[in-house]
Chains A and B, each alone.
Chain A
Amino acid sequence: MRLAEAWRVALDALRANRMRSGLTMLGMVIGVAAVVVLVALGTGTKETVEAQVEGLGSNLLIVVPGQVNFSSAPTLSRMDNSDLEAMVKVVGDRDRITASLTSGENVRAGSNTAFTTVNGVMESTPKVFLRDLGTGIYLSRTDVDTGRRVAVLGSLVAQRLFGERDAVGQQVTIAGVRFRVVGVFAPLGQSLGVDRDNEVHIPITTAQRLFGTGRVDAFAVKAPDRETIDQLGDQMLAELRRRHPDTEFSAVTQEQILGVLGDILGILTTVLAAIAGISLLVGGVGVSNIMLVSVRERTREIGLRKAVGARPRDIGLQFLLEAVLLTSVGGLAGMGLGVAASLLTAALTPVPATITWWSMALAFGVSAGVGIIFGVVPAQRAGRLDPVVALRTD
């Protein structure tokens, strides 16, 4: 029997049992769709997060006390303004480095209050991180040097406190002290789960006075190019360790953050795909069951086919192809369903979806493979049936 013929025989048999074929396929459809959807959502999330990290600016280097570690609590900083001076000297360009001192505070204007992140920073901040102003101006060098009580509001803070009114020139109260608003940031959105529109920038010197500390929490540096990042980090760390021999410091680059996040999200995507893969396996077991039932039900047919000249191989091939047809047609339908569900999820929810060709190819390949693997046993059983026994069955 030729292969084309075997396909036709298998197809005819499946068509003769439409309902059962459809239900069997359903398991594969759902399994493949699950793989495609979960991989699409995982990949989409990963790409979005990476874009957010890259959106901070390029060639960034963050220097903090302690270890950069997701499991340990942040170390309280012992750095102060003299360290800041030293770091500016190491970097050699005040426009490329900024420092920060951060605290959560209530900000008030009239009867409106907003709880927000107050960042004491240097005037170079918009040059280090990419940040655009919506209205007004940013903090100036003089603001920082003289510790003026001026503030730049995130767009969300401005909206909460002043509604549609222009906040520039207005007064706000931070931790009980009055500030003048000099600028409002353009809306930026979320970054790594932090709402970057819900923050207020004030001069770091003002912040130190406001919070009653001389502390500096962290430094951020924008290196001139990728090649100098590591060297710059090493120099800064060496200087800090010299000044604080008993304290650990670490420097992380944007690339390292990207790498770590990418790894985590990549693992997440793989785990999701693996879970979905289990449903594919379950679908495969379903196919195997149905094929075994089918072999039993069609014992007489098998006996008859053998009586008129079908070899064990012909019968086995017929049942194997039936299984492969079931799973691969189910796989194709699952791909369609998966793509549709991914696009729908992306359209209706904030979860991003990126459809990858490899997940589709993998899911389809696995479903066809599942057909072969789970079709073999029923096919062998059918092929080996004794024709006399098969014909006597009723």
Chain B
Amino acid sequence: MIEAEDVTRSYELDGVTVAALRGVSLNIRQGDYVAIIGPSGSGKSTLMHLLGALDRPTTGRLLIDGKDVTALSAPEMAKLRNETIGFVFQSFHLLPRTSAVDNVALPLVYRGLGARDRRRHAAATLERVGLGHRLGHRPNQMSGGEQQRVAIARALVTSPKVLLADEPTGNLDSATGVAVLDLLERLNTDDNVALVLVTHDRDVAARAHRQIAMRDGVIVQ
């Protein structure tokens, strides 16, 4: 599904080169459940952006769904993200002043689906994450846990092959966090979606099938 081979990513900052990733190799297969842990600044988010085709590696080889990311144009990468990847962010990233159902339907807009089909799909997906009764709610009318479930529904609505969740429980209290985690794991087992999870929490990481520990831009274990 995703193959990373000796991938690096460095930034030019005021003439100084900052190496965020210094040679990472990694395979994500269908149905995988991988937890990435590591201290702050170790390059976890940078890696997630690469795995999600939001960014291109500076060097190395990166195949997503069989496509070489370094050879893709910006529109081709957008298409790849839309069809293959589902993102869940720590800070939800829902559109304000926009209903839950329209937030969830957003990825389908860029698939060229008609408004009615989008709503139908979005409503069904919200139903799956237990928010069938919150279709018309706006983000500021929902709890943090509910907002993150809307975000998960949005990641799910396109039936992606990989769910990339960067600290999905980071802004939630532990009980709500566990519920969100349960939901993600259920999707992983039921739909056979690969789940890649960044977390600071060792207990959370322990639930994954595979753990990847990072430090200073490399995988240490």
Q: Are A305 and B97 in contact (CB under 8 A)?
A: no
Q: Enumerate chain B residues within 8 angstroms of A348, measured Cβ to Cβ.
A: none
A-B contact pairs, 20 of them (CB 8 A): A1-B112, A5-B109, A5-B112, A12-B98, A303-B93, A304-B93, A307-B54, A308-B82, A308-B87, A308-B106, A308-B110, A308-B158, A309-B82, A309-B83, A309-B107, A309-B111, A386-B55, A388-B55, A391-B54, A394-B91
Contacts of B33-90 to chain A: CB distance below 8 A? 49, 52, 54-55, 74-75, 78-79, 81-83, 87, 89
Cβ-Cβ contact count across A and B, 8 Å cutoff: 70
Complex Cα distance A2/B115, Å? 11
Q: Are B95 and A1 in contact (CB under 8 A)?
A: no
Q: Are A391 and B93 in contact (CB under 8 A)?
A: yes
Complex Cα distance A159/B188, Å? 101
Chain A nearest Cβ from B93, distance in angstroms: 5
Residues 10-41 of chain B, each 1 if its beta carbon lies under 8 Å from chain A, else 0: 00000000000000000000000000000000
Q: Are A314 and B110 in contact (CB under 8 A)?
A: yes
9 closest A-B pairs by CB? A309-B82, A308-B107, A309-B110, A311-B75, A311-B78, A304-B93, A16-B97, A388-B55, A387-B54
B154 within 8 A of A: yes
A9 within 8 A of B: yes
Q: Enumerate chain B residues within 8 angstroms of A307, measured Cβ to Cβ.
A: 52, 54, 81, 87, 93
Number of interface residues of A (CB under 8 A): 26
Residue of A nearest to B110 (CB): A309
Complex Cα distance A295/B109, Å? 20
Give chain A's interface secondary structure class: helix
Q: Which of B81, B93, B95, B96 contacts A309 (CB 8 A)?
A: B81
Chain B nearest Cβ from A36, distance in angstroms: 35
Question: What residues of chain B have their CB less than 8 Å away from a CB belonging to chain A?
Answer: 49, 52, 54-55, 74-75, 78-79, 81-83, 87, 89, 91, 93, 95-98, 106-107, 109-112, 115, 154, 158
Q: Enumerate chain A residues within 8 angstroms of B111, measured Cβ to Cβ.
A: 309
Known: A16-B97, A309-B78, A309-B82. A388 touches B107 (CB 8 A): no
Complex Cα distance A311/B93, Å? 18
Complex Cα distance A18/B133, Å? 29
Residues 1-38 of chain A, each 1 if its beta carbon lies under 8 Å from chain B, else 0: 11001001100100010000000000000000000000
Q: Which of B91, B109, B154 contacts A1 (CB 8 A)?
A: B109
Complex Cα distance A171/B154, Å? 99
Question: What residues of chain A have their CB less than 8 Å away from a CB belonging to chain B?
Answer: 1-2, 5, 8-9, 12, 16, 300-301, 303-314, 386-388, 391, 394
Complex Cα distance A313/B79, Å? 12
Q: Enumerate chain A residues within 8 angstroms of B54, measured Cβ to Cβ.
A: 306-307, 387-388, 391
Complex Cα distance A386/B49, Å? 11
Chain A nearest Cβ from B52, distance in angstroms: 7
Known: A304-B93, A388-B54. A309 touches B49 (CB 8 A): no
Known: A308-B154, A309-B82. A300 touches B110 (CB 8 A): no
Q: Are A9 and B109 in contact (CB under 8 A)?
A: yes
Contacts A308-B107, A309-B78, A309-B110 supplied; 9 other A-B pairs, CB < 8 Å: A2-B112, A304-B93, A304-B95, A306-B54, A308-B82, A310-B109, A386-B55, A387-B54, A387-B55
Chain B nearest Cβ from A329, distance in angstroms: 20
Chain A nearest Cβ from B80, distance in angstroms: 9
**Of B91, B106, B111, B154, most A-chain CB atoms within 10 Å:** B106
Residue of A nearest to B151 (CB): A304
Q: Which of B49, B74, B81, B97 contacts A308 (CB 8 A)?
A: B81
Residue of A nearest to B103 (CB): A304
Chain B nearest Cβ from A41, distance in angstroms: 43
Q: Enumerate chain B residues within 8 angstroms of A1, measured Cβ to Cβ.
A: 109-110, 112
Residue of A nearest to B81 (CB): A309
**Of A5, A303, A312, most B-chain CB atoms within 10 Å:** A5
